Structure formats: structure tokens, C-alpha cells
Amino acid sequence: MDVTSLYTNIPQEEGITIVCQAYEKYHNNSPPIPSHYLKQILGLILKENSFQFNGVNFLQCFGTAMGTRMAVAFANLFMAEIETKLLHQSRVKPRVWKRYIDDVFSLWDVRKQDIDLFIEQANTFYPTIKFTVEISETEITFLDTVVYKGERFQNEAILDVKTHYKPTETFIYISV
């Protein structure tokens, strides 16, 4: 599963609240810097992010820019909250669920129609968060790897991994 355009689809206020709650929880409700300061700083970073496109100035008022230093942590904490609630509410759950920012790898031991039901639920769970999905019984690309059922799977139930090369990869190297 992959979240479609995650960074630009995180509501700023809700994202700030989630980050501040995670900050408080991490520090056992006694953070070294009061969380209201974190809230103010995040508000400045998110709400005062201006950029230029084709000579026209814009102010980003929803989501976060991917190039902002705190964007990855912001998106990661937001998705942690969403996935926790989604998995908790779901009747059918994956056997394995691993997420890296906006990419999810999951293994299932249920019928395909149950997986489809979960995907439908995931895509209606939060208004701005939508998932694209690839399903296969033999191999799947995750990040820059291909996870597949090789020879070891039949005997030991072990999945194998190999490097994934995008079709646009040319491997042209220049030496001097």
C-alpha cells in the first residue's frame, strides 16, 4: 500500500495536535520544552511556508512541503496515529504490517475479498488519506526491493528479497 500524496494531504492543525500529543507521551507528560511552544513552532513552519511557481507566489495552507526539515517526522507521526486507529478498528487485520513513512508492506492469511474490504475501509477511514495498492500471491515491490516466494518459501516459509530496478534505470556511469 502507498499513501497518495501524503505530505500535501495532512491537515495542519490536526497534524500539529498529533505531533504534540506524541511529544507529550514520549516524555511521559513532562517534556523538557512545554508543548505549547512546539505547537507555536510547528504553526510557524507549516503556516508561513511560501513558495514560487512560474513566477507566482503561493502560501501553502494545507499539508506540508516535502523539503521542510520537519516534514518526514511530521508525516510519520501523523501516519502512526492513522494506522494505529485503522488497525484497531478493523475486523480483518494483516498478519504483518510494516510502514516506512507512506509505504506499507503487509502480509495476509485471509481471503482476497477480506483484503479488498480492508482496503475499502482504509480508503474511507480518513477524508484526505487515500491508498493505492498492489496485491500479489507471488511477489511484490516494496521501496527498492522485490519480496518474493522463492525456493526457500516452499520448504521453510521464508520470503526472499532482491533489488528492484525501475524500468527507467539506465546504469550509465561516466569515468574520468
Considering only CA atoms, which of 151, 126, 129 is closest in space to residue 138? 151
Residue 159 to residue 164: CA distance in whole angstroms = 15
The predicted pLDDT at position 131 comes to 97
The predicted pLDDT at position 175 comes to 67
Q: What residue ranges of the chain have pLDDT lower than 70?
A: 171-176
SS3 164: coil
The predicted pLDDT at position 5 comes to 94
Considering only CA atoms, which of 12, 4, 5 is closest in space to residue 62? 12
Residue 97 to residue 106: CA distance in whole angstroms = 4
Phi/psi for 134 (5° steps) reads -120, 130
The pTM for the full model equals: 0.85
